[in-house]
Structures are given as C-alpha cells and as structure tokens.
Amino acid sequence: MTREEFHRLADKRYDELQELNKLDNFYDYEKQFVGIWQELGKTVLENNLGALSKDKRKKKPHDPGSCDNEQ
C-alpha cells in the first residue's frame, strides 16, 4: 500500500470523523470513533496482506515485500 492509497482511504473517513464533533455525549463519540478507526484499520490490513483466504482457519504466509515501507 502506498502513502497515497492510505491517504485516500483515510480521506474517505474524514467527514465521518468530523460529524462526531456534533455529538455532546463523550461515550457515543468514543464508541463511534473507535468503530471508524477499527474499520479503517481492517481495510488497511487487508490491503497490505492481500485477499483473504476462503478457509478462515488457513493462514496465508506473509510476504514482507508486499508492504511498501517507504517513508
């Protein structure tokens, strides 16, 4: 995953994060904030590791070359 791809994914969630500022209850804010970041994290993880296996018990070997570690 490139930096630009990550920024595109995060940018899609920006408006959702900004909408949280309208909430007046910290519990609701925190709950929705965590949900947004968990979904974003899952998407980033799946993009970095590739397609998921049909068999959820089988693990795919990790290819360290598939991640773009350029900073």
pLDDT tens digits, 38-66:
999 999 888 888 766 677 677 666 666 66
Q: Is residue 62 part of a domain?
A: no
Q: Is residue 10 part of a domain?
A: yes
Q: Is residue 31 part of a domain?
A: yes
The residue range of the domain holding 28 is: 3-50
Q: Is residue 44 part of a domain?
A: yes
Distances (CA, A) of 57 to 18, 25, 39, 64: 38, 40, 22, 21
pLDDT, position 64: 67
In the chain, the N- to C-terminal Cα span, in Å, equals: 12
Write out pLDDT tens, residues 19-43: 999 999 999 999 999 999 999 999 9
CB 9 within 8 A of CB 40: yes
Please tell me the total count of domains within the chain. Answer: 1
pTM of the model: 0.63
CB 60 within 8 A of CB 53: yes
pLDDT, position 66: 60
Residue 57: what are its φ and ψ, rounded to 5°?
-85, -20
Q: Is residue 9 part of a domain?
A: yes
